[in-house]
Amino acid sequence: MFKTKRMKLKNVLIIFSTVAITLLQGCHKKGDDTAISPTLDGTMAFDMPLFVLPGEEFTLTPRGASHPKGGGIGYYWFSSWHTVRDTVKTETGPGDGSWTVSVPQSTGTYTITSFAYASEYTSISTFRSFTVVDPSLDGSLKGAGYQSDSVKFVDHRDGGVYYLATAGGNVWMQNNLYYSGAGVSYEDSKAMDPIAGRFYNWNEATKVCPEGWRLPTDADFAALCDDPEGAGMILVGAAGSMMADVYFNGSKMWTFWPDVKITNATKFSAVPMGYGIDQEGNHKFVGTNEYAVFWTSSQEGDTGIYRYIYVDKKDVFPAAGDKDSFLASVRCVKEK
């Protein structure tokens, strides 16, 4: 999922290094090959989600640059899919350097760079990389195991669409819950909700399933894996039966060593989106391409019980997480 991003980012950095060298050379004083202009003060930044929808429009506002002598600052922008510099503010002109951009329609990873400049000073810059995702069926996520003709459930609360499969005596949602009324988006990017599902703490998870549905117990997971006596125990050799051989924007997600045979026999269609940690409102996401983690309604003291699959293990493991700060995926089962 992220290897392609890193390769593209490396190429982008090479391009921008060349641009920076050219700008520095252009700032030499006439007749003095060793004199280099002083640099603008500050560290630039702007906000951009890590994942966005095709053609989505954003207004980006740079911040952090300042003139050492209180003078005016101009701003211009580059994008990796365009080659023309877009100057949005001159040194003496009005505005704050904001730039409105529509991202590409094609999925993939791209980069935007913002520059601040002033006469007789070396410019400073910053960049953000982002990935365009397609949340439609068989878009960015291929091989998830559900089809357009699968039985579906539409959540009346926000229109979320869930594919259904029957296994272990229950009707399960095949894709992770992404009800927008609770939880957080993967990497705080709403574009990823239908792909990754949202991440919930245990207290939210126990209440978040729509009417007529519930959070599964640990025993439900054991029954799903054809091990009715396995509640609270390691479900030996069951990982492959729960996993989907899935690709994200063309990159394989489950890459095991040693190999685990992926059958998705239960039609659970587990995708390795990892888990989250809520650090006083700041969300850290861990284990993408390595873990698939799902809350159960079971609990042990002050902790909630979850089930997880790890990238190089053939078993499905139980574990306990803090009810408030640990964030995991949710699958719902239909009430009988």
Task: Give the pTM.
Answer: 0.86
Number of other residues whose CB lies within 10 A of the CB of residue 255: 13
What's the confidence (pLDDT) of residue 36?
83
Q: Which of 185, 166, 182 is nearest to 267 (CA)?
A: 166
Burial 181-197 (b: 16+ CB within 10 A, else e): eebbbbbebbbbbbbbb
Can you tell me the distance from the alpha carbon of 316 to that of 322, in angstroms, rounded to the nearest whole number? 20
pLDDT less than 50: residues of the chain: 1-33
DSSP class of residue 199 equals B
Coil, strand or helix at 74: strand
d(CA 26, CA 10): 25
Q: Is 31 left (phi over 0), alpha (psi -120 to 50) or beta?
A: left
Query: Hey, which residues does 87 pair with through a beta bridge?
Result: 76
| Per-residue pLDDT reduced to its tens digit, 190-239 | 999 999 999 999 999 999 999 999 999 999 999 999 999 999 999 999 99
Instruction: 317-323: list long-range contacts, CB under 8 Å, 24+ apart.
Output: 317/234, 317/235, 318/218, 318/232, 318/233, 318/234, 321/202, 322/201, 322/202, 323/201, 323/202, 323/203, 323/299
- Catalogue all structural domains in the chain, each as residue range(s) with its CATH number: 3-132 (2.60.40.10), 141-334 (no CATH)
Residue 259 CB neighbours (<10 A) = 10
> What pLDDT score was predicted for residue 257?
79
Q: Are 110 and 127 in contact (CB under 8 A)?
A: no
Burial of 55: CB neighbours in 10 Å, binned 0-12, 13-18, 19+: exposed
Token pair recorded at residue 312: 């190089």
My answer on whether omega of the bond before 258 falls inside 30° of 0, hence cis, is: yes
Q: What would the pLDDT profile of 68-85 be if each residue is shown by its tens digit?
A: 999 999 999 999 999 889
Distances (CA, A) of 30 to 39, 123, 136, 247: 18, 18, 57, 55
Looking up tokens 């740079």 gives 62
The per-residue pLDDT for 35 is 65
User: Side chain identity at 117, as an amino acid letter?
Assistant: Y
DSSP string, 215-253: PPPHHHHHHHTT-TT-TTS-BTT-HHHHB---EETTEES
